[in-house]
Structure 1
Amino acid sequence: MKNYLAVFLGSAASMDAWKALDDVERSRRETAGMEAWGQWVERHRAAIVDGGSPLGRTKRISAQGIADVRNELAAWTVVRAESQEAAARMFEGHPHFAIFPGDAVEVMECLPMPGS
């Protein structure tokens, strides 16, 4: 079994559409989304290595210095699976994009550090 990092992505346009919903509809979707997310966690509890968390604002550090940037990274989690395909299938129909305004989930293998 290998570990896979799942990165939840959401565009500014998707978030703008979410914010444009009236308060009642947004609240209804938030409640439904959190319930569905909890059900997803329960269904995959044995495979979740680290539940992760939402991600905040981003600072990019480079040779040019430190800058505030906007990217599409919204949250992360780590799961264990037999293959990348099996890990990816865990996220089919995930509430991140089925109910919430997220756009996608990307899954990549956590590789061992060279020399370790």
Structure 2
Amino acid sequence: MTDNSNTYLAVFLGSRTSPQWKAWEALSEADRKAREQQGMAAWHAWVNKHKDAIAGLGGPLGKTKRVDNGGITDISNEMGAFTVVRAASHEDAARMFENHPHFAIFPGERVEIMPVLPIPGG
């Protein structure tokens, strides 16, 4: 069984209808490419800074399929990426994402961080 203590899932969220995304789309191709390069450099710097706390780098998320009693449906949601970190507390985990490039440079809106709980009876 995996020990999930002090483990946190961070989900990167944003909406393509947000003001941030509309401003991003309004950039010229050259300006957007420059911001992408700046953003990826900042993201790599963030990863390097927190490399000892990153339990699973995660990555960008693709198109979503929902499965329920009605079958399989293509849907859209605000999830754009995820990563898994270890920290002494929920607050410490959240602090790792303050001013993250996801919303400081890219048009993402927020990062939501939640503890990974033990499996009941596990």
TM-score (norm 2): 0.91
Residue 84 of structure 1 corresponds to 90
Shift in Å, 1:21: 1.5
The unaligned stretches of length 5 or more in structure 2 are none
Coordinate RMSD, CA, aligned: 1.1
- Matched residue, 1:105: 111
Q: Does 1:10 align with 2:14?
A: yes
User: 1:69-99, CA deviations, whole angstroms, 9 ceiling, x for partnerless residues?
Assistant: 1100000000000111000000000000000
Residue 38 of structure 2 is matched in structure 1 by 32
How far 1:65 sits from its partner (Å)?
1.4
Aligned 1:46-65 pairs, distance under 5 A: 46-65=52-71
* Matched position secondary structure for 1:39: helix
Q: CA deviation at 1:115?
A: 1.0
Cα deviation code 1:27-64 (max 9, x no counterpart): 11001000000110111011000000100000111111
Structure 1 unpaired stretches of 5+ = none
Identity %: 58
- Report the TM-score, using the length of structure 1 for normalisation: 0.95
1:10 Cα offset (Å): 1.2
- One-letter identity of the residue aligned with 2:16: A
**How much has 1:66 moved relative to structure 2?**
1.1
Q: Counting helix residues as a fraction of each chain, which structure ranks higher?
A: 1
Corresponding residue to 1:73 among 62, 71, 79: 79
1:18 deviates by: 2.1
Q: Could you say what secondary structure the match of 1:13 adopts?
A: coil
Alignment: residue pair count: 116
Following TM superposition, by how much is the alpha carbon of 1:9 offset from its aligned partner in structure 2, in angstroms?
A: 0.2
Counterpart-to-counterpart distance in 1, 2:7 and 2:17: 31
